[in-house]
Amino acid sequence: MGSPPSKSPGTRPDGQPFAVVRSEDEWREALAPDEYAVLRLSGTEAPFTGEYTDTTTEGVYACRACDAELFRSTTKFDSHCGWPSFYAPLAQDRVLYLEDASMGSIRTEVRCAACGSHLGHVFEGEGYGTPTDLRYCINSVALRLEH
């Protein structure tokens, strides 16, 4: 399914510590099994099944693992891809970008910068007409909508 965020679970790819650090046992205890599978093991929920796929409620989407604010509802758009889509994070320092070659092609993985949890992937140049020409394809189970 994947691996934890880095060789040392408490550090970012640049070697700096995450703001939120827990052991894998603590993550397993804090998260439901489906949340743990996505957030900590880089899994993916099935398309069109997530809680926020079609949500239009205003608010801020936070990391379900650590509550860091990640995306605003004003940047969410309907991409018809089966997962919530955003065209930009709340701020660039809220997410980390990692190369992901796990599916036979190179993709850009998106992780929470505060705790290192897997959120989804970002794609560019798909022609959605968003201000950034980016689609942050994020698992609903990785998010919590705060009104």
Catalytic positions are 137
Q: Which residues contact 106 (CB under 8 A, 6 or more apart)?
A: 99, 100
Q: Provide DSSP, 126-137.
A: S----TTSEEEE
DSSP state of 40: T
Cα dihedral 113, 100, 86, 147 in deg (nearest 10) = -40
- Contact between residue 98 and residue 109 where contact means Cβ atoms under 8 Å apart: yes
CB neighbourhood size of 63 (10 A): 25
